[in-house]
Structure 1
């Protein structure tokens, strides 16, 4: 006879310790937005029987419709929406309004209307199946509305790719090297397409093989956007892949064309000041000009007065206008090696708002006074009319100061250039005392011929002229933030948080591998990082230490809440000096106009109410632009490197992963991957603390920062990918490391490099 089971606990049994009641659980989920069962168990400290009881409670609440699924494991209160979420466009009603639903929401997640007009200025209005990042806002009637923050590149249902025609089929191969979504086209639809066409295609069904979900999916071409072999295809791909808004509406163009050259009116006349612009040699827009002279005020011997004048974009871009809406949507200009996608139409960006030599221009200027130690004593703003005395390049100005003036700079030496440099060297004393992060970043200049071919890739020189302009712009930005705070006018700060404890610990782990001490528990300070950089600057590890310190930093962003700027070591900082190419600066200009009573184009109450939304949007747009610029650069570099396949190069390991090593080439700065299969004839284990791949049998290592020689085996311009084969041998084992254990995978040697097919 079977032994009877123990009776189940009845409803009168005492619940496990810590188990929340229904109301407490729902309140927690309401505040958290969503959580999975493990999150809930950890939050309430549940183990064993408590976890089992929690699972039963969640299951019961889900059955009652009180909880809804979020993804595979998550739960939320039924019908709840987070403040910000990733959504898919799921339907369009008879009036043409689009509705979205949470991408990982369950059946309870409601369909929410996309705010009308929120997507008009985007690069192609969203369509069914598109994936967006939105903000959910509750309306007066209790319903929700979704406002677009950004499009998430290509949608989950769309592919930007290249047409490949063969005898058997016609495919679209994605240009995104991370994507595997190859599509097969119906031959009837692809008849007019050519091999090599760049197209935007949409997934239209399961695989080409009938009745199966495996293999390539069927696709439908929505648009032909160009050719893979056409000049400047790299930037075209980046624009489409990242959803960069392009062009301007007829209304915005008309508004820009209607702009008129400025008149003095009530402006301060600054035309007698010999303000000059110093920019890259190929710059087409000039939004800042500078001038300095010794301060003759009593009590400030050795001090200087520095003027920074910035294009008055606010006088042409009025709040709420079509031009303003599209500038806000773009949020910044996007710079590619071969073109610029500007935030403002050319009539403004290269015309009325560009501080051209010898032409009257509206400006917002700040006059700053510094003492002999570079400490700022005072500042004041003026809305003025200026006339640039000269347009110089960085190289031109630097050559003049170094004793090689030309026809343009010779007449400016005594009255303009020498006082500017004297003032800067005074300001530098204050900068050195402040000790902002002194990370060196080597930028590469990609030179492209008129035919679109990459001619050369060279490092950009870092000149004192660059540092002069940078420091004067930094101080002008500080003045803007200080003035708006003093006037109690809300603003968008440029903020930069200190590195997290985790990042500091990772830095310490890496430094231990090169024999350098780092106190992981000590607070992050710029002086600590600068001391580390100075100690290693002349040694063999300078480049990689600089790189790892850079990776340790957080990303700067825009916010209406001030947390200071760690990298610059400043308590308050706002972007003010580039309103032609950054919407954040235009917002700060409007704030100053409002705070100081300088005109009617000041920041409106409506704009103040949505400063947080604007800050989030322009931060995301900035990151979108950075990703697009980086992708285009990678593709141009791959096109340049394609002619060098088979050649050997010197480089340095800049990344260590379980699947291989990332290597940066010394000459061009090109980055590529050396797959683990090319590293040797044994199995390599990823030691994340040592930042190395370690041979399981031999203990030999491939270490972060190690110099190596590699052979280029593959360059793919269409994706920007470079594949390397390792020529160097790994370093000897670390004598302090534990003796390697022979694992199962190590008993069978891998194929030597070059033998794979």
Structure 2
């Protein structure tokens, strides 16, 4: 076209996307046949795309797409996921970038030391089914000497050894008598490796005794220390808290409005309160949030510590808070019948639930009541005699009326309707697990969620309209690779997924609705969940796919999330509500802050999941040999992940114990298929299992599948050597029998 220069941004990006192995400026120029002055244009485009974060510099004159790791490059191992897999990311000039990469061993016949969290190496990276995998070429930077090990100390005649608490940590540390530092047999400890000869045994030194393995609190203690979650507050923070007072500023009096808190029955902090009122042509809703910014001011020791922690971390037996108890459960908590400073948003909706306008208020409120979800729901359902009765007419009925109106707008918006059951580990007075239950979901839960979503949207809209710095909560749409994997799987169920169309939540919801009453309902929910991107914080907006919202921020939980405190400060600055708003320094560093908060959030999620797994293992430790019903929730080349009914505990059944057939991993259909008979164990299948082994230290459950595999599907091709990855043995196991294990046991069977 006349006036268009060559090359242009689209051409360059398209070339890099299609040729990820060509990363240098010279290779890109040669591939695009760029010559002469056009090279200056190319250089400018590459720098512009880098400054915008679209490209990541991987070398002095080399680039890769920021959301795509290069085919060969440096990776850093950052974490271990819920399945025990080592997770890495690509390394650019400015640090790690791009999506999670699963470690898949060494390349070809290469061999070397096992990598651990913190290590770096050169690797080949490929993508299959929406998942990136790395084959290590060389481990050139070992992080073990700086990475502590958490585990159980076992005495030996010459000192002791440490059994790691992490299933994926393959290190083995010997402890000399002089280095055990008081550790006794069965103690939970942290230890640091000592430098030594690479070929000799690894020795370490105990740095801290955490407690005893038989202590009911051990599950949380291990998770806290393994993930370096700060527990104790520094002295300067505690000294600040002793005399802290809220900043004086002009406030609107909301104490006459009967705002109430609705929380879990065991909640210790209350950071949100709600109120609704019927108008002639719609509804007024007020969401009031604890004014944490008035107490936690930029530049203070308290603020530095809150930012470092990023968020509170919740375990079955305790909370590791972002703020000290004096604030989180007292001064900042919206306690019943006590005046509290707040940040509130007043929203006006029409009869159909469409928001007409909103305004933010810095005010003072007094919670009229502290209700649990159960108490609020009981009053609405007409169950008299509870605390909610007194608030039924003046407060609860208007809240439910507004929620019903907002439900119409929500239905039109069509957010992703994944309502997955959530397990709850109940701890008895003795500190042990007393029960594993599934959390009940009431309309009261959904009401509070919907009002919080509306408040979060209002915050994002206001700050964007003001042109103010903002931390968005971004949830990207599913990647093409993950949608292709979803389509491949649905095809095995004789269902179609339209590829090439822009992903829409409504399409996912139709699939969920169409299969809700079928045998495939649970597995389809699970596969849809896995197809979604992870939500992140980012100063640039890319929308929230799951909620189907164009603008979204976190505003409603500043007691437990630093991101929300940042949003409060931005509102204070942009709306001129006080002198304690967002500083210029923090506004300039939002990219780094967003990345840090994503890291702390994922750290907490991993620790919470790890502790829950250990509590479940402890709960089941006296049930070895018992049989359970379960559902296959994961299929890997090494075996099956199975979620047990009742507890929701996840166990693993190794491929080597399924039968004597040769099992092939069929990635597309998410199944293990017997090469000879075509029989299959597949995702979502309900099976009977025996609990063979429990390891509470690692939170591991080893299962044996008792159920027969499903028969070959009509028209199913017999998998061969190219049909997928095989089990741990490289040749046929002889007999093609697939009798269940409780009828035919094999002596000396190797565990996978």
Residue in structure 2 matched with residue 632 of structure 1 by the alignment: 611
1:442 deviation in Å? 0.9
Instruction: State which structure, 1 or 2, has the greater radius of gyration over its C-alpha atoms.
Output: 1
Q: Where in structure 2 are the equivalents of 1:403-418 lying within 5 Å? A: 403-418=382-397
1:78 deviation in Å? 11
**Given the alignment, which residue of 736, 746, 751 partners 1:755?**
746
Render the CA deviation track for 1:371-421: whole Å, top value 9, x for unaligned: 011100000011000000000001111111111133421111110011110
Q: Does 1:277 align with 2:261?
A: yes
Q: Does 1:199 align with 2:178?
A: no
Residues 579, 153 of structure 1: alpha-carbon distance in 2 compared, 3 angstrom cutoff? farther
Residue in structure 2 matched with residue 5 of structure 1 by the alignment: none
Q: Does 1:724 align with 2:703?
A: yes
1:583 deviation in Å? 0.4
Residue in structure 1 matched with residue 436 of structure 2 by the alignment: 457
Residues 565, 191 of structure 1: alpha-carbon distance in 2 compared, 3 angstrom cutoff? closer
1:191 deviation in Å? 7.3
Render the CA deviation track for 1:330-362: whole Å, top value 9, x for unaligned: 010000111101000111000010000000000
Asked if structure 2 preserves the Cα contact closer than 8 Å seen for 1:153 and 1:242, the reply is no
Render the CA deviation track for 1:180-211: whole Å, top value 9, x for unaligned: 1011111333373211111111111447xxxx
Residues 733, 405 of structure 1: alpha-carbon distance in 2 compared, 3 angstrom cutoff? same
Residues 541, 304 of structure 1: alpha-carbon distance in 2 compared, 3 angstrom cutoff? same
**Given the alignment, which residue of 481, 485, 495 partners 2:464?**
485
1:46 deviation in Å? 9.4
1:710 deviation in Å? 0.6
**Given the alignment, which residue of 145, 149, 156 partners 1:159?**
149
Q: Does 1:594 align with 2:573?
A: yes
* 3-state SS of 2:597 partner: helix
1:741 deviation in Å? 5.4
1:251 deviation in Å? 1.4
**Given the alignment, which residue of 344, 358, 369 partners 1:365?**
344
Provide the rounded CA distance (Å) in 1 between the counterparts of 2:590 and 2:265: 35
Residues 87, 323 of structure 1: alpha-carbon distance in 2 compared, 3 angstrom cutoff? farther
* 3-state SS of 2:712 partner: coil
Q: Does 1:250 align with 2:235?
A: yes
Provide the rounded CA distance (Å) in 2 between the counterparts of 1:493 and 1:455: 40
Residue in structure 2 matched with residue 660 of structure 1 by the alignment: 639
1:157 deviation in Å? 3.9
Render the CA deviation track for 1:191-235: whole Å, top value 9, x for unaligned: 73211111111111447xxxx715x41111122222211121111
Q: Does 1:393 align with 2:407?
A: no
Q: Does 1:295 align with 2:285?
A: no
Residue in structure 1 matched with residue 171 of structure 2 by the alignment: 181
Residue in structure 1 matched with residue 204 of structure 2 by the alignment: 219
* 3-state SS of 1:746 partner: coil
Provide the rounded CA distance (Å) in 2 between the counterparts of 1:159 and 1:499: 36
Q: Does 1:238 align with 2:223?
A: yes
State the number of aligned residues: 638
Residue in structure 1 matched with residue 130 of structure 2 by the alignment: none
1:748 deviation in Å? 2.3
**Given the alignment, which residue of 621, 638, 642 partners 1:642?**
621
**Given the alignment, which residue of 532, 546, 558 partners 2:525?**
546
Unaligned runs of 5+ in 2: 1-11, 32-56, 78-88, 95-115, 121-141
Q: TM-score, normalised by structure 1?
A: 0.79
Residue in structure 1 matched with residue 560 of structure 2 by the alignment: 581
Asked if structure 2 preserves the Cα contact closer than 8 Å seen for 1:651 and 1:664, the reply is yes
Q: Does 1:471 align with 2:456?
A: no
**Given the alignment, which residue of 420, 426, 437 partners 2:405?**
426
Asked if structure 2 preserves the Cα contact closer than 8 Å seen for 1:645 and 1:713, the reply is yes
Q: Where in structure 2 are the equivalents of 1:492-503 lying within 5 Å? A: 492-503=471-482
Residues 674, 290 of structure 1: alpha-carbon distance in 2 compared, 3 angstrom cutoff? same
Provide the rounded CA distance (Å) in 2 between the counterparts of 1:431 and 1:333: 29
1:605 deviation in Å? 1.0
**Given the alignment, which residue of 171, 176, 189 partners 2:161?**
171
Provide the rounded CA distance (Å) in 1 between the counterparts of 2:269 and 2:489: 42
Residue in structure 2 matched with residue 137 of structure 1 by the alignment: none
Provide the rounded CA distance (Å) in 2 between the counterparts of 1:750 and 1:165: 46
Q: TM-score, normalised by structure 2?
A: 0.80
Residues 748, 535 of structure 1: alpha-carbon distance in 2 compared, 3 angstrom cutoff? same
* 3-state SS of 2:602 partner: helix
Residue in structure 1 matched with residue 679 of structure 2 by the alignment: 700
* 3-state SS of 1:179 partner: coil
1:295 deviation in Å? 1.3
Residues 750, 233 of structure 1: alpha-carbon distance in 2 compared, 3 angstrom cutoff? farther
Asked if structure 1 preserves the Cα contact closer than 8 Å seen for 2:269 and 2:329, the reply is yes
Asked if structure 1 preserves the Cα contact closer than 8 Å seen for 2:677 and 2:736, the reply is no
Q: Does 1:437 align with 2:426?
A: no
